Structure 1
């Protein structure tokens, strides 16, 4: 059972299903609870060169680690984050990606993408972080995290995957960006840890919804506004600008595919 499959809103305009909302200190009482597993915990130990004409260096090359890691409000202790203007920080302390999506891209690109290949700290199975609701709280091992939004791809990802041309729009069209998390309770976690959904906001706005909006779907602004209280500051500011522009008859909120957040 996925952590949020019963709550997702289709960015293309489909309907939603209801789901239970929990006491923040307990498991969701309806439709959730134990939802999946961490297949791999991944960190960058070395810095790699960035793409030509892009960032000079990157911490995207994350590799699986054995044993437990400690997680604080900045992420996994010992993980290298280089371009801190757009990566890391308390609202992007951890990044998760689906094992199924790595396998799917491996087939589509004819290139083996192992856990960590998307630059993710957590490779997940059995819980779909793309369908997680913004503000949803998970317990992973001894750590409590909160879903804050999608990863917005830049030039580094297609370069790291050996792709040329218009890969970022292709990645955007797939609608499977992975999710960022803030750390609400530090602790330890390891590969094999269960993912348990503790609390799910009732606005039903998912990571995939916000991703679609950020990648050029300003008509989703009213939907995203339902999640304003659970958005991190940068997204909240962007939403405020989008609402103001929409009110004045402009067109804002999204961005050209491939630009930085």
Structure 2
């Protein structure tokens, strides 16, 4: 498990095809950043419905997916193309569990939920098909909460300190939410994970509960 890129940036107003949108997706790579329970200093999000807050303080994206998107769309993708804070290798969604605890530099983090992608990713990369492909593959990255604050450097080591006993992968959560939400057994098994981010829990419960 290694860091490829460390990136931060504050939300700003951007012109997307004549439409002015406030977004935090346009982050810049840095050599070091201070991380608190609320996220990195000098970093922020615009859409707080799906990003940000103590349970979604850090956004990860696996570098392995960059190669897939380059093959599919025949264009280069450069970190942080998906607005992630940490672009990493050896940490794909299928191999990590909700509740896993990681040490990254001075910090200790806990995986809380997959990232639920939005159309800003397609705007950012000027690719109208990208969001659809992210949803289909569930290659969207994930969030962590901060258990111990500190500094992360672009070359900090990444170590898994503890593996969740529940064995519910990041991939499984998003695949269930996006493609199999009527599977009560699958949803119930995810909801049993007490380290799941409350926002993700509410989204799954809403999917599970029929509208009146």
* TM, length-normalised to structure 2: 0.88
Would the aligned equivalents of 1:221 and 1:239 in 2 still touch at CA under 8 Å?
Answer: no
Look up the SS of the partner of 2:179 in the other structure.
coil
1:151 counterpart residue number = 115
What SS does structure 1 have at the residue aligned with 2:77?
A: coil
Q: Is the 8 A contact 1:97 1:118 kept in 2?
A: yes
Is the counterpart of residue 212 in structure 1 residue 186 in structure 2? no
Give the CA RMSD over aligned residues.
Answer: 2.2
More strand, by proportion: 2
Alpha-carbon displacement from aligned partner over 1:123-164 (angstroms, at most 9, x marks no partner): 101222453101111110111111111111111011111112
Of 211-220 and 183-192, more deviation after overlay is shown by: 211-220
Distance in 1, Cα, partners of 2:112 & 2:19: 26
**What is the CA–CA distance in structure 1 between the aligned matches of 2:9 and 2:37, rounded to whole Å?**
17
Aligned CA distance change for structure 1 residues 155 and 242 (closer, same or farther; 3 Å): closer
Which position in structure 2 is the counterpart of 1:101? 65
- Give the one of 139, 148, 156 matched to 1:176: 139
- How many aligned positions are there? 209
SS in 2 for 1:210: helix
Q: Deviations over 1:142-194 (max 9, x none)?
A: 11111111111111011111112x54232212221111111111111111212
Dislocated runs of 4+, deviation >3 Å: 50-55, 238-245
Flag structure 2 segments of 5+ consecutive residues without an equivalent: none
CA shift, 1:82, in A, is 2.1
Tell me the residue number matched to 1:22. none
Structure 2 equivalent of residue 138 of structure 1? 102
Higher mean C-alpha deviation, range 104-113 or range 207-216: 104-113
Deviation at 1:244, TM superposition (A): 4.4
Of residues 149, 152, 161, the one that matches 1:198 is: 161
**Residue aligned with 2:200, SS:** helix
TM superposition score normalised by structure 1: 0.73
